[in-house]
Amino acid sequence: MDFLVKADKLKVFRKKGLSMLNYMVIFKCVNNRGIQTCTGKTLKQEAEMELNLKARAKINLSLEIIGKREDGYHDLSMIMQSIDIYDTIKLKLNHTKDIKLITNKSFGQAKDNIAFKAAKLFLSHTSSSLGCEIDLHKAIPSEAGLGGGSADAAAVLLGLNHLTGNPLSEKELISLGTQLGADVSFCLFGGTMYAQGTGNILQTLPFLELDLLLVKPDESVPTKALFSILDKDDFSSGEDSKKLADLITNRELTNIRDHMVNKMYKKSLKFAPAMEKIISDLEDKFSCEKALMSGAGSAVFGVFSDKESLEKAYDYFCTKYPYVYKTKTCDKSVAFVRSK
């Protein structure tokens, strides 16, 4: 069935199964029996369009576990924040109907990678006859509590939606993201957000600008294993996250460190005990304002107001740990990058 969309005040007809960039290609109906190119690129050229994206990591400025749900998941209360450490993704549409994943890291079978799953879900949901190639360059450490996989999935969803003429609404993209992972919904937006539920209930907060040092030891924390050992002693009311959200909203930033907590930290130490010394060194040796584990770990970040102290800390930790980054907060998770 043909349907009509509007793009830049120009009417565009699309045939079911054909995915077109409505801002690149203009078509007209010919006797209701087909489509004819009026101007712009050909279908073949359009379908080979590519897009480059940055998929940014996240940290948790607070993370509290409210309780375990009947479906086995946990209700959470947290402040999530995008940071300027990112994977890069090149998306390219084609006519093969297949999805191809190329990556610089080994993840087993491609079909098990969340970026691949995101592409498959999107193309299936939109009944597209197209395929795509995903060239994924991983830079965000895995099993670190930084949401690298979720960021990749969000970037693929947003990128494919852009390349195919934005067929899905924001609400539909969130629905797909929720099917892929708890953090994907946040990664569709990014910035500074108050998250509740499993991470699917989101409230946008004023952007919080911070300079950070992030350190990850060799040890990693398997998220599923960590959640399996959480008990009632790890649960809390969520009041710290709520208070932190209020302080950020009202720009009362002097006391935010008092409500920056991570209730998973004690159990995560069973998998990555090196985090304890990293936090101690950040706070005692270099006087960072606050040091905290991100997500389920094992990455730790320190908030610095003095850049000289941050530089000294960076030099120190680079001699001791494999992953050390000077970074900052960002106001969005996914960024479209102009091709050179």
Query: What are the sequence ranges of the domains in the chain?
Result: 3-43, 50-204+332-337, 211-234+264-328
Q: What is the CATH number of domain 211-234+264-328?
A: 3.30.70.890
Kindly report the backbone phi and psi dihedral angles of residue 105, in degrees, each rounded to the nearest multiple of 5, phi listed first: -120, 150
Residue 14 has pLDDT above 80, yes or no: no
**Poorest-confidence range of 20-24, 258-262, 289-293?**
20-24
Q: Nearest to residue 313, comparing CAs of 275, 292, 274, 284? A: 284
Please give the Cα distance from 325 to 213 (Å, whole number): 6
User: Mean pLDDT of all residues in the chain?
Assistant: 87
> What is the band of 144 on the pLDDT scale with cuts at 50, 70, 90?
very high
Which residue in the list 58, 92, 117, 216 is annotated as catalytic?
58
CA distances from 278 to 90, 216, 268, 269 (A): 35, 9, 14, 12
Q: DSSP of 263-309, one letter per residue?
A: TTHHHHTTT-THHHHHHHHHHHTS--SEEEE-TTSS-EEEEES-HHH
Plot region of 234 (φ>0 → left; ψ -120 to 50 → alpha; else → beta): alpha
Q: Which two tokens stand for residue 97?
A: 């109907």
The yes or no reply on domain 50-204+332-337 and CATH 3.30.230.10 is yes
Q: Is the pTM of this model over 0.75?
A: yes
Please give the Cα distance from 182 to 200 (Å, whole number): 7
The reply to whether omega before 142 is within 30° of 0 (cis) is no
183 given a catalytic annotation = yes
Which residue in the list 183, 211, 234, 240 is annotated as catalytic?
183
202: Cβ–Cβ under 8 A, 6 or more apart, which residues?
A: 185, 186, 189, 193, 194, 195
CB of 218 closer than 8 Å to CB of 142: no
**Poorest-confidence range of 34-38, 132-136, 153-157?**
34-38
219-238 in b/e form (b: 16+ CB < 10 A) is: ebbebeebbeebeeebbbeb
pLDDT of 340 reads 57
CA distances from 15 to 5, 7, 19, 173, 215 (A): 11, 16, 8, 22, 50
CB of 294 closer than 8 Å to CB of 144: yes
Residue 12 has pLDDT above 60, yes or no: no
281 given a catalytic annotation = no
User: Does 50-204+332-337 match 211-234+264-328 in CATH topology?
Assistant: no
Residue 53 has pLDDT above 60, yes or no: yes
Pairing of strands 334-337, 99-103: unpaired
Instruction: Return the residue matching tokens 């710290």.
Output: 240
pLDDT in tens, 295-339: 999 999 999 999 999 999 999 999 999 999 999 999 999 999 976
